[in-house]
Amino acid sequence: MPKFLLTRVDALARLAQFTPLAGTAYATRRNFVRADGDHADVSRLSAALRRRVVGEDEVVRAVLAAHPQDRAEKFIAEVFWRTYWKGWLEARPGVWVQTQDQAAQQQANPAIARTAAAAIAGRTGIAAFDHWARELAETGYLHNWARMQVASIWTFTLGLPWQLGASWTYDRLIDADPASNTLSWRWVAGLHTAGKAYLADGDRIAAMTGQHLRAEGLASEAHIPQDTPLPPRIALREPAALDPAKPTLVLITPEDCSLETVLPALNIRAAATVRDLAHSTADRIAQADALTRAAAHWRCPALECSDDLSTLACAYGCTQIVTGFAPTGPVASVLARIAPALATQGITLIEHQREWDRLAWPHCTTGFFQLKSRIPGLLRQHGIA
Ligand SMILES: Cc1cc2nc3c(=O)[nH]c(=O)nc-3n(C[C@H](O)[C@H](O)[C@H](O)COP(=O)(O)OP(=O)(O)OC[C@H]3O[C@@H](n4cnc5c(N)ncnc54)[C@H](O)[C@@H]3O)c2cc1C
């Protein structure tokens, strides 16, 4: 299995290696799934992009330097799917909370839990599904097209709740992302685009895997699960402005692991990570790499903090903590909890939002095509195309 791209050196090396394939080759081959686990036709950059070890703008810029825009269109659109899901969930954060609550309730049902456990262990008797369940367990990665088949078979053939499936893959994927994971499962289940589900098909699975994987006895109809009413849409959060003069502690979280490439000039005294903000070993590797880079870039101490950020900030005379914007997910929940406590100590916690998100998220309120039609304009605004 190829190694995961959790350090910036590795991610940039993979980007350089993959860039020549991001044009026509990607458009024609990206949906073929190699059963041997060699996913050379796709970038495998998701673990890095999810944590912003590299930024979407950097990836798209590199690809457009190598290909005319019309040839790279497919790849660029896929990168914008990540943006779309993020922006969509940002306006409906309740969907993330609701999905987690529902998965916990489903897991407490012994019959559901038993069937789910057999599926997760790769014991359904559906060869392709079992193969991918094992691949996920062993590697933490699945090709996008395989993820679609897995989610579809789980929901429509095995009759398991999609929320529990989303919880399974979120716990196992190295690129686990609240928005892309939760909303892709909803999309497969037919809940994102009302009435339009994704139904896996055995012949197509055989064809797309070069006849290596079989899936017999699949559901021939998608019985779309009943949806709970969506929590109300809220206004997008607008982070407060940074104060360039204030003594600042830079907080690195798994939500933005290349802050040194995007932050404006600040009075930085130290850079830190907080152990509890890492959800997985992969997060910890990416955070540690980002911390080392940040300390070298700003020539400041690199601090690994167990939890008490205010003590750390005070020790370095910092009255401002700057971190990457945390979209809906575990890091955002922690930041929302600690910000008021920091404020009582005279320390402001500011999330720095990337231009990429600020410009795109307002166009993520309905379907993907609302955003897609704006991609050329957005790229011009970034000076990329
Ligand atoms: C059920 C299901 C669950 C998923 N869960 C996650 C998840 O937890 N985390 C995650 O990052 N992606 C998730 N995806 C989206 C997608 O499968 C992965 O981003 C992609 O497979 C990563 O491989 P890659 O980097 O080689 O992609 P490439 O094909 O090389 O695409 C380039 C980049 O575009 C983005 N991208 C591509 N396809 C999608 C997509 N369908 N949705 C959103 N972004 C996309 C990713 O950032 C990816 O790195 C999920 C998809 C499905 C169907």
**Banded pLDDT at 293 (limits 50, 70, 90):** very high
Return the ligand 1 atom nearest residue 44 CA.
26
Which residues share a beta bridge with 322? 250, 350
Q: Which carries the bigger pLDDT value, residue 371 or residue 38?
A: 371
d(CA 87, CA 338): 24
**Nearest residue (CA) to ligand 1, atom 48:** 46
Residue written as token pair 């020549």? 20
**Calpha distance 93→28 (Å, rounded):** 35
Query: Integer distance in angstroms from the first to the last C-alpha of the chain?
Result: 35
Neighbours of 50 (CB within 10 A): 25
**What is the dihedral sign for C-alpha 277, 281, 287, 291?**
positive
3-state secondary structure (DSSP) of residue 158? coil
Q: Residue 3: pLDDT band by 50, 70, 90 thresholds? A: low
Ligand 1 center from residue 109 Cα (angstroms): 30
Which residues line the pocket of ligand 1, CB cutoff 6 A?
A: 30, 42-46, 49-50, 78-79, 81-82, 85, 143-144, 147-148, 151, 169, 173, 175-177, 180-181, 184-185, 188
Ligand 1 atom at minimum distance from 42 CA: 30
Which of these, 298, 223, 311, lies nearest to 267 by C-alpha position?
298
Task: Give mean pLDDT, residues 225-241.
Answer: 92
From the CA of 79, give the closest atom in ligand 1: 34
Nearest to 314 by CA among 371, 263, 369, 247: 247
How far away, in angstroms, is 225 Cα from ligand 1 center?
A: 23
At 60-113, the pLDDT tens digits run 999 999 999 999 999 999 999 999 999 999 999 999 999 999 999 999 999 999
- How many A from CA of 180 to the centre of ligand 1? 7
**Cα 256 from Cα 323, distance rounded (Å):** 8
CA dihedral 377, 148, 176, 326 (to 10 degrees): 30
Specify the pLDDT at position 1.
42
Burial (Cβ within 10 Å: 0-12, 13-18, ≥19) of residue 65: exposed
Q: Which of 206, 297, 298, 197 is nearest to 247 (CA)?
A: 298
Give the ligand 1 atom nearest the CA of 150: 1
Structure letter (DSSP) for residue 363: G
Testing ligand 1's pocket by substitution, the residue of 19, 38, 54, 144 carrying the most ligand atoms inside 8 A of its CB is 144
Indicate if the alpha-carbon torsion angle 327, 333, 337, 338 is positive or negative.
negative
In this structure, the dihedral spanned by the alpha carbons of residues 55, 57, 58 and 63, taken in order and rounded to 10 degrees, is 130
Distance CA 54, CA 169 (A): 23
Distance 46 CA to ligand 1 centre (A): 6
Residues with Cβ within 8 Å of residue 219, at least 6 apart in sequence: 153, 156, 157, 199
Q: What is the pLDDT of residue 222?
A: 97
Interatomic CA distance for residues 254 and 52, integer angstroms: 8
The two tokens of residue 154 are 């789980």
Pocket test for ligand 1, best of 29, 168, 184 (most atoms within 8 A of CB): 184
User: Measured between alpha carbons, how far is residue 315 from residues 302, 306, 319, 330 in Å?
Assistant: 13, 15, 10, 27
Residue 332's nearest CA partner among 197, 201, 179 is 179
pLDDT of the residue at 37: 87
Question: pLDDT per residue over 307-356, tens digit each?
Answer: 689 999 999 999 999 999 999 999 999 999 999 999 999 999 999 999 99
CB count in 10 Å sphere of residue 239: 15
For the chain, give the number of residues. Answer: 385
pLDDT at 361 over 60: yes
> CA 68 to CA 43: how far, in whole Å?
18
Torsion angles phi and psi, residue 62, rounded to 5: -65, -40
Q: What is the mean pLDDT of the chain?
A: 96
How far is residue 40's CA from residue 142's CA, in Å, rounded to a whole number? 12
Cα(184) to centroid(ligand 1), Å: 9
Q: Does the pLDDT at position 191 exceed 70?
A: yes
Residue 51 predicted with pLDDT over 90 = yes
Eight-class DSSP state of 154 = I
DSSP-based three-state secondary structure for 267:
strand
Task: Tell how far the Cα of 298 is from the centroid of ligand 1, in angstroms.
Answer: 33
> Is a pLDDT exceeding 60 seen at residue 238?
yes
Q: Is the pLDDT of residue 2 over 80?
A: no
Pocket test for ligand 1, best of 152, 175, 185 (most atoms within 8 A of CB): 175
- Ligand 1 atom index nearest CA of 181: 5
How far CA 164 is from CA of 107, 119, 175, 186, 226, in Å, comes to 7, 11, 18, 11, 15
Q: Which residues pair with 127 in a beta bridge?
A: none
169 Cα to the center of ligand 1, angstroms = 12
CA within 13 Å, CB half, 109:
11
Distance 320 CA to ligand 1 centre (A): 34
